[in-house]
């Protein structure tokens, strides 16, 4: 497409003409893709059966690729989001902070519409939404920002052992600056104990930071109860909602949330944009990480990127429109996948089944090494944990926190289901997993011993 665009630039007598043509052409592609997605979503399983030897997706001009079940790492951009973004990359190029002319006014108006769309999902005031580069920046800004602002009198932070690395790492940095951090443990279901949380709150606690939905196991913490406890003790409550925003009902007022981290690329919006909700009444004060022109209420300086902001806004608007449909659809696929996987012997569902977001299914397959299983499943894009830790081959610290031993943590796979996953893909993955797990277990001496009735816990392994 690029050479075509370049030729168009040369041919077009004015940039405006080029802009309209390019926008229209891509918009058409987006519409076509959307139509095929809708069709795929509706296709009954039998009709859409995928040939076992030909399981690769080919719904794009990027060649054949595996089935995508890694929705916690990122979600594909909804074509309707792309349509919304395109005019800002062509004709609507004004700086939204330019207040002296119409180029600035027109983008500013759209940015403010997007801000309202993002705010509406969580019942916030648009003035409480600060655009950032993503949830990592939000978590850093919220945790370091609150701690540093109130740090003269308050030196203590509470979080949990199963937070995303960017929360844990922000806390570690604050420990280097002299803050004390309590890392609350979780039970075997992945949930924190609310009594333990309340007991951990001290007179000098400035912040409680607990994620709403875990990115590895999908466990939902009791956010409303945590908010109530924080309010009672007059401690600020921050929640990392990168995996929760748009996926579970959230209301900052009902849940007494003071700060919330949101990421656009987890809700079918573009990468590189997120939002931090910061309560205005009672006001939460923050020390900004980035100083400069004073944009975003002085909490995050720098020129906003209207294509990203408006794409994010559209993704948020679509979330509100399609929330019930998405939930029902993802829930249906998730139940099918979970029930089928758990019908295999020696499998375990990781985390609470009751307090759980359906789009994230984490299952351990005993006597199969997770990485070997991933290698045997080249036709499915999956992860054995979060995108950042799966590269290190270390067993997941989240599963360890739930009490899993190394073997169990190593044998776990995360399945991420989203708006554009099809039932045929789920059916394929179920068959593929059954086949490959059976195959790998047949190669496993441990599995053979278990089949022979040997209790592995009684074996004295020789050290080396
Ligand atoms: C729970 C959680 N928090 C934070 C992040 C970071 O989000 P971003 O990629 O927007 O920086 C992620 C991304 O995987 C996440 O899952």
Ligand 1 within 6 A of CB of 269: no
Shared domain for 220 and 337, answered yes or no, is no
Q: Do 297 and 130 meet the contact criterion of CB atoms below 8 Å apart?
A: yes
Q: Which of 293, 321, 349 is where one domain is finished?
A: 321
Look at residue 20 and tell me if it is in a domain: no
DSSP at 379: T
Indicate the top mutation candidate among 75, 137, 141, 164 to test ligand 1's pocket, ranked by most ligand atoms within 8 A of CB: 164
Q: Do 77 and 68 meet the contact criterion of CB atoms below 8 Å apart?
A: no
Ligand 1 within 6 A of CB of 167: no
Shared domain for 261 and 292, answered yes or no, is yes
Look at residue 5 and tell me if it is in a domain: no
Shared domain for 351 and 306, answered yes or no, is no
Residue 2 has pLDDT above 70, yes or no: no
In angstroms, rounded to a whole number, what is the distance separating the alpha carbons of residues 236 and 239?
A: 10
Predicted pLDDT of residue 445:
84
pLDDT averaged over every residue in the chain? 87
Ligand 1 within 6 A of CB of 136: yes
Shared domain for 348 and 289, answered yes or no, is no
Shared domain for 384 and 402, answered yes or no, is yes
In angstroms, rounded to a whole number, what is the distance separating the alpha carbons of residues 437 and 430?
A: 11
CATH number of residue 360's parent domain:
3.90.1150.10
Shared domain for 152 and 244, answered yes or no, is yes
**Greatest extent of the chain over all pairs of C-alpha atoms, in Å:** 81
Ligand 1 within 6 A of CB of 240: yes
- Domain coverage including residue 357: 323-453
Predicted pLDDT of residue 57:
57
Shared domain for 151 and 128, answered yes or no, is yes
**Tens digit of each residue's pLDDT (9 = 90 or more) over 256-294:** 999 999 999 999 999 999 999 999 999 999 999 999 999
**How far does residue 454's CA lie from ligand 1's centre (Å)?**
43
**Tens digit of each residue's pLDDT (9 = 90 or more) over 6-62:** 333 223 323 222 332 333 333 333 344 345 455 544 443 433 444 444 445 555 566
**How far does residue 151's CA lie from ligand 1's centre (Å)?**
26
Shared domain for 308 and 352, answered yes or no, is no
Shared domain for 314 and 206, answered yes or no, is yes
CATH number of residue 186's parent domain:
3.40.640.10
Q: Whole-model pTM?
A: 0.87
Cα–Cα distance list, 240 to 4, 36, 218, 237 (Å): 42, 34, 13, 10
Give 219-270 as a 3 state SS string. Answer: EECCHHHHHHHHHHCCCEEEEECCCCCCCCCCCCCCCCCCEEEEEHHHCCCC
Domain count across the chain: 2
Shared domain for 208 and 114, answered yes or no, is yes
Shared domain for 306 and 329, answered yes or no, is no
**How far does residue 385's CA lie from ligand 1's centre (Å)?**
13
Shared domain for 245 and 328, answered yes or no, is no
């Amino acid at each position: 497409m690029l050479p075509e665009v370049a030729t168009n630039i040369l041919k077009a007598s004015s940039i405006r003409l080029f802009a309209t043509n390019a926008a229209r052409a891509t918009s058409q592609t987006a519409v076509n893709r959307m139509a095929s997605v809708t069709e795929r979503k509706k296709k009954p399983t039998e009709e859409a059966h995928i040939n076992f030897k030909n399981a690769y997706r080919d719904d794009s001009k990027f060649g054949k690729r595996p089935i995508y079940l890694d929705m916690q790492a990122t979600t594909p951009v909804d074509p309707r989001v792309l349509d919304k973004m395109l005019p800002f990359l062509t004709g609507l190029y004004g700086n939204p902070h330019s207040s002296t002319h119409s180029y600035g006014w027109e983008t500013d108006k759209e940015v403010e519409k997007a801000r309202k769309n993002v705010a509406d999902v969580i019942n916030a005031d648009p003035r409480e939404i600060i655009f950032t580069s993503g949830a990592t920046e939000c978590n850093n800004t919220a945790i370091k920002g609150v701690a540093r602002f109130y740090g003269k009198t308050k030196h203590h932070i509470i979080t949990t052992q199963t937070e995303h690395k960017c929360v844990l790492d922000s806390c570690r940095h604050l420990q280097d600056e002299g803050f004390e951090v309590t890392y609350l443990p979780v039970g075997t279901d992945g949930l924190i104990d609310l009594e333990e949380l309340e007991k951990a709150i001290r007179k000098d606690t400035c912040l409680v930071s607990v994620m709403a939905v875990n990115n590895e196991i999908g466990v939902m913490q009791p956010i409303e109860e945590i908010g109530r406890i924080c309010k009672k003790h007059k401690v600020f409550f921050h929640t990392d909602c990168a995996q929760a925003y748009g996926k579970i009902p959230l209301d900052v007022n009902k849940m007494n949330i003071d700060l919330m981290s949101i990421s656009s690329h987890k809700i079918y919006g573009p990468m590189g944009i997120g939002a931090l909700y910061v309560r205005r009444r009672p006001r939460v004060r923050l020390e900004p990480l980035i100083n400069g022109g004073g944009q975003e209420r002085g909490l995050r300086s720098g020129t906003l990127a209207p294509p990203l902001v408006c794409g994010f806004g559209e993704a948020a608007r679509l979330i509100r429109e399609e929330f019930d449909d998405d939930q029902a659809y993802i829930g249906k696929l998730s139940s099918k996948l979970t029930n089928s996987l758990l019908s295999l012997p020696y499998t375990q569902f990781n985390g609470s089944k009751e307090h759980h977001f359906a789009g994230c299914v984490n299952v351990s397959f005993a006597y199969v090494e997770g990485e070997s299983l991933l290698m045997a499943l080249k036709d499915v894009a999956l992860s054995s944990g979060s995108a950042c830790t799966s590269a290190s081959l270390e067993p997941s610290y989240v599963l360890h926190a739930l009490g899993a031993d190394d073997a169990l943590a190593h044998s776990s796979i995360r399945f991420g289901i989203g708006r554009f996953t099809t039932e045929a893909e789920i059916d394929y993955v179920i068959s593929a997993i059954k086949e490959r797990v059976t195959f790998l277990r047949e190669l496993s001496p441990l599995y053979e011993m278990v089949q022979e009735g040997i209790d592995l816990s009684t074996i004295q392994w020789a050290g080396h």
